[in-house]
Structure 1
Amino acid sequence: MRILMFGRGVIATIYGQAFQEAGHDVEFLVRPGRAAEYGESVQTDLIDTRRALRGQRTASTFKTRLRESVELENEFDLVVLSVGHHQLREAAAYLAPRVGAATVLVFGNVWDEPLAAVAPIPANQVIFGFPQAGGGFTDDGVLHGGLLRSVILGTTGASPSRRELTVRAAFQQAGLRIKEEADMRGWLWLHFASDAGMFSQALKSGGLANMIGDRRALREAFLTSRELLPVLKERGVDLRRHPEAMLPYRLPRLTGTAFALATLVLPIARASLAAHTDPNVAEPRAVLDDALRTSRQLNIATPRLEQSVR
């Protein structure tokens, strides 16, 4: 399959490598001037759980094919769009006249109505999913992080469409399992709320890496996220459809302790958080600002969130 990864960030790099190693023809679309900056290869140092639950550390260098523009329609079968939620509209506007018949997998945070966030890409070509990986680049250009054995993919009906089957097959060929989510809109917004809580606490802690093993910080993160649940309900999310995702909000003290222990015991959790060193990058700030903007528009009080962005 011909796959275009939009950008060469953390998620695009991790999954682009997995796709390439599975035999797919992978290219990375980068901004003008970035190809020379990035070079022809990238080093990764990952905790990979595809073969073992606790993960196997793999360090490797893989060749990347970078391009700075897309000129022709129908060059690719699949475009993986994994950018900050605040960059989705710009990315969609660029891709829409160039995407041809390709399937577009929106693979990351969304806070607007999902299809509106990526208009004018045709709705029947779009699939929403979420990665189960994370990490960050160090100053020497090495990507450190972790890769879980599954990904989240939204479903559109009882019988998967041809496009859904194609995307599933690409991930499965890369050794990844599929977790289906019927209410992808609600799931994405719940995850966004979770991120808002984590990022709000990261500002106080000096970064996500400093939250490793910190029960109090993780508990506060879940309490901040819980403030956004009324926002989600007001926006039409049926929280009863997501019992597993709701557990941390119902038991923040217990969940904070469990997550703190997980960051100490599980190599993949520790590696993913340890790779995040700067709490002031654009995406975390945009998550906090947009969550707060929506809560204000709906006149729903979020005092912890308000305090975190002052």
Structure 2
Amino acid sequence: MKILFFGRGVISTQYAWAFEQAGHTVEFYVRKGRKETFGSHIELDMWDARSGKKRITESWNVTLHEEILPQYDLIIVSVNTEQLPAAAQFLSTAAGNTPILVFNNIWQDLKSAIAPLSMNQVVFGFPGAGGGIANNTLRGGFLKMVFLENPRAGTEQMNHKVKALFESAHFKINWSKDMQSWLWNHFAMNAAMEAEVLQRGSFAALMNHTDSFANVGRSMREMMPVLKARGAKMDAITLLLTKIPPALLGPLFTKVIFAKGSLARLFMEYNNSKAGFAVLEVVREAKKAGIPVPRLTMALGNT
């Protein structure tokens, strides 16, 4: 397959590398002026956990374009959440009829999030990867698991194409029957984490404070009424964070889920993205619904 990635971010770059290794052609669309800024290669220092735990260190040559031509089998969009509306607007004319995988965190309802693109042109998914890029060096990694929505009426062919692509690169697919609820739950969890990052100063600093995860649990409890007001079904992670006493969440996360040396911890420590947007979006939604979210509101007020 010939695949175009929208942007050369940390998620796009890692999956593009994996797909190229599987024999596919991968290229990147970047904004005007970025081609020269980025250059023709990127340094990789990342972990590939599709089979065991393998460290990849190489200087990888990439192909960048500042325009989109109608010659791709699939376009993959993985951008910062706040950038998705502009990306969808641009692709509604630039992408033609090319199928699009929106591989992204989303807080709006799915149809509104990708307007004016048609839902029949889009498949929704979410990566199992993390990390960050600094000084043209990517540090992070990806797991074997990726998340995809079950086919909707009219998207069966596109969904099969996306499935075949990931399986050709030895990824395992976790299917979601309700991708909307899954993304809402995940976005709320991001907001809870970002609220702590705003307090601690960075994702790496969050990893060093046991009580940070207790606070993440408290923030998730605060957001439960917001999710329920939206009609979201609570997933396993949300229930875990809201049912386990906050005092127990710290040891669980620091000693098990984000244990020192674990890939999950490394992905978080390398994450140098700017925190706050997810918190702001949830606070806005809560205000509309008349639901108090004092912890999140305070986190925003302290920035």
C-alpha change, 1:43 and 1:90, in structure 2 (3 Å) is same
Q: Is the 1:20–1:26 contact (alpha carbons within 8 Å) kept by the matching residues of 2?
A: yes
> CA offsets per residue over residues 148-178 of structure 1, 9 Å max, x none?
1110001135998111111011111112110
C-alpha change, 1:159 and 1:33, in structure 2 (3 Å) is closer
* 2:82 counterpart (82, 86, 96): 86
Q: How far apart in 1 are the matches of 2:293 and 2:114?
A: 28
SS state at 2:43 partner: strand
Calculate percent identity across the aligned residue pairs.
35
SS state at 2:93 partner: coil
SS state at 2:5 partner: strand
* 1:65 counterpart (63, 66, 73): 63
> CA offsets per residue over residues 192-241 of structure 1, 9 Å max, x none?
000001011011111110122422111112211221111111111122xx
| Aligned equivalent of 2:236 | 243
Please say if 1:303 is aligned against 2:294.
yes
| Aligned equivalent of 1:200 | 195
Matches within 5 A, 1:117-128: 117-128=113-124
| Aligned equivalent of 1:258 | 252
The TM-score normalised by the length of structure 1 is 0.92
Please say if 1:13 is aligned against 2:13.
yes
Matches within 5 A, 1:165-244: 165-239=160-234, 242-244=235-237
| Aligned equivalent of 1:163 | 158
Higher mean displacement: 56-65 or 26-35: 56-65
**1:304 Cα shift?**
0.6
Q: How far apart in 2 are the matches of 1:245 and 1:60?
A: 37
C-alpha change, 1:169 and 1:266, in structure 2 (3 Å) is farther
**1:59 Cα shift?**
1.2
Q: How far apart in 1 are the matches of 2:262 and 2:55?
A: 9
Q: Is the 1:78–1:103 contact (alpha carbons within 8 Å) kept by the matching residues of 2?
A: yes
* Residue type at the aligned position of 1:129: G
Q: Is the 2:45–2:137 contact (alpha carbons within 8 Å) kept by the matching residues of 1?
A: yes
| Aligned equivalent of 1:96 | 92
C-alpha change, 1:15 and 1:204, in structure 2 (3 Å) is same
Q: How far apart in 2 are the matches of 1:178 and 1:160?
A: 17
SS state at 1:231 partner: helix
Q: Is the 1:47–1:271 contact (alpha carbons within 8 Å) kept by the matching residues of 2?
A: no
C-alpha change, 1:253 and 1:152, in structure 2 (3 Å) is farther
**1:258 Cα shift?**
1.7
Report the number of matched residues. Answer: 299
Structure 1 gaps of 5+ residues are none
**1:35 Cα shift?**
0.6
Structure 2 gaps of 5+ residues are none
